Amino acid sequence: MKTLIAAVAAALLAGVVLAQTALTAGEVVKVDKSGGKLTLKHEELKNLDMPAMTMNFRVTDRTWLDGLAPGQKVRFVAEKVNGQYTVVRLEK
């Protein structure tokens, strides 16, 4: 029972942290559909302690890459998943 309560509490906390992670502005530089990767010129990512730069990200869902084109402005949330910077939320 204690384990269950701890698990529920952890899940709730994770949800709160995720909800508080603000969207960051970015511009699409390159789309790699087959590789499931996206190059973004992004503003500061506070949750990753990262300054503005242009870099590669993996994406949680490759279908997000459909219809994306270089020069397009997006808003996104990135996290480190299994050691790789990954876009976990994308708004076009």
Per CB under 5 A, residues contacting Cu ion are 50, 53, 55
Smallest distance from the beta carbon of 34 to Cu ion, in angstroms? Answer: 22
Q: How far is the CB of 9 from Cu ion (least distance, A)?
A: 32
**Alpha carbons 58 and 78: distance in angstroms, whole number:** 9
Toward Cu ion, which CB reaches closer, 13 or 53? 53
Nearer to Cu ion, 24 or 64 (CB): 24
Identity of the residue, 67 or 83, whose beta carbon is nearer to Cu ion in the bound complex:
83
Burial class (CB in 10 A: 0-12, 13-18, 19+), 21: middle
Cα separation, 68 vs 74, in Å, equals 9
Q: Which tokens in the block code for residue 1?
A: 């029972």
**Least distance (Å) between residue 17 CB and Cu ion:** 20
